[in-house]
Structure 1
Amino acid sequence: MDLFSPIRIGNYPLRNRIFMAPMTRCRSVQNNVPNDMMARYYAQRASAGLIITEATQISTKGIGYPYTPGIHTPEQVQGWKKVTRAVHDQGGKIFLQLWHVGRISHPSFHNGELPDAPSAIKPSGSIYTYEGMKEFVTPHALTIDEIKSVEQDYVQGAVNAMEAGFDGVEVHGANGYLIDQFLRDGSNHREDEYGGSIENRARFLLEIVKAVCSAIGSDCTGVRLSPSGTFNDMKDSDPKLHFSYVCEKLNAFDLAYLHIIDALEGDIRHGANVVDLSVLRKAYNGILIANGAYTLDRGNEAIKNGLADAVAFGALYLANPDLPERFRSHAELNTPNPDSFYTQDEQGYLDYPTL
């Protein structure tokens, strides 16, 4: 068994285990609506076993970066229909990643209102806005009623995604965004049922997952976590213990998959407090996707050893639309150009050559 072996995710038989990881690309230039350029981009990569889209806002309060897509207006749903249709026409499968950035935002995105977070703790650093770089602010700590409302935004986002033709959704619980902020004791200092113990800090994620599974089916629902991550000023006193607990609790939902950002070899760009993937593999019984600087050989090794059932590739897929074909023939790979990762035109987006 290797990356080229077929696999079943939920009710979907997939042709390989080479998945496309979610990657923000900032091409939704009009009202955060997906466009024809994005449809072509994803269709070019439809030979992936599964495409997971770039992070997609579930509400206006979920916005934290310019030109990123949403799934909370009728126009955005219609825009995504172009994408799903284009991918399905090429025989591909595609899940949408549901996103709320939480405190990793700025009032300029929210008509002057503070970003939301589990606790009023300002992250270090700054963020890119439509007006340039801005220092992070101290966020608004969500009330219980507001937490329940945000959970419903995730559900509505999932329902909207299925209306847009997606095969499923991935709940984004990674990389220092809202769900991750609830999970970590460095960003969650609450003293109610959503803070304190890991059982309480995991409550927000688990309630979202339960509600999304009830709305669209567990076979169409995945979750992404970054147990080792320190990106966006993430800190945790015992990530091994805490994320083992979360993985064990996710077993109850019979998810399509659990997607883990694996930092075993270190994440140079974001930093890492490494939780070994084997620890999480032991805790989670279902389909596990690994992501994080994987190569063809390292991916095959992870599958052979049972550490992962599939591997999601990020920058390699960005630069190589035909990545499975290149892997199979051991062809030379295109080199990603970071200068065009977050620009707004076709250069560095649609023009990477295929074999």
Structure 2
Amino acid sequence: MTTHQTIPSADFVARREAGENWHAQMPDDKAMLRAARDLTKDIAEARANIYWPDMLGSTLVGYATLIGAILVDNGWLALALGLVSALTLYRALLFIHEISHLHRDALPGFRSAWNLLVGIPMLMPSFMYENVHTLHHKRTQYGTIEDPEYLPLALMKPWSLPVFVLVALLAPVALLFRCAILLPLGLIVPPIRRLTWERFSALAINPDFRRRPAEGEFRSRVIRLEIGSFIWAWALIASVFVWGWRPLLITLAVVSLTAVLNQLRTLVAHLWENEGEAMTVTAQFLDSVNVPPPGLVAEIWAPVGLRYHALHHLMPSMPYHALPEAHRRLKRELGAGSTYDGANHAGMAVLVARIARSTMRPRG
């Protein structure tokens, strides 16, 4: 086993405990970055025989159990089916993350199929993450005001954490309003069209983020997906006049649960300790979170490889099915006490408690 730099050092830990921003001073652990590159070259290809069955199976189970929850009369059984639907549709939905990283020639047809089966029906087509999430991975933008997916939650007020999670309950109603009302209004009123695109077309948590206009082939794809989302949104609204309120309300409740699950996962995807400075790759890695085995619960709340979120920041293009093996190789090569070990955490409860404690720390 080779010797690798161990970060954070006692100096950086002391700075963090004192409430100082240590990210800007964090040097890159070049040995770790080199190991991540060299040890995983043979597993870096997206495998269609894993992606397709996983996405299609999750989608099928999600919709089947949703229909069951709508049709059954037994309240407890309906609740159980709704929970299974939320969990499996949540897994299916999170393939939007993989789509944002897939090379355009990888998995032909996968993005289109996902949009037809998941993105449009859940009113979250892939363009809401494409050309947005990759900004979060830019070396000079991560953790800054230009990062659409970063808020310094650990440095905010304690009440901001429950608000951050609970606001996700409103996501399905907001998405329905966006697709059914704002999209057609935008065709008539240009300022509304601009506002809808800049502020409400991206799955972002940074309120200061403004999306740039879509161009070229991407713009054409956006238009097609927006038309599909508009038609589906009004089909959902019209369903009330055919089948009553129950199917729509149960569907909205299931999507609300998936949104809350995703928001909880987002809450513990990072330590959220950066104050806006540009960071090295190693600093970004240590501000991100792995929740590796042996625990199994993380595979439920962080599926499709997202339990290895810190590792994903080292290798953004690594397919989700390869991350467990990549983690094992790096863990074995770098050893306990290495920089790599610094991003591995025990679970959601530990991480929420850590962030909550940080919000209560006095600041100058």
TM normalised by structure 2 equals 0.25
Larger Rg: 2
Structure (1/2) with the larger strand percentage:
1
Structure (1/2) with the larger helix percentage:
2
TM normalised by structure 1 equals 0.25
Q: Which has the higher contact order (CA 8 A, sep 6+)?
A: 2
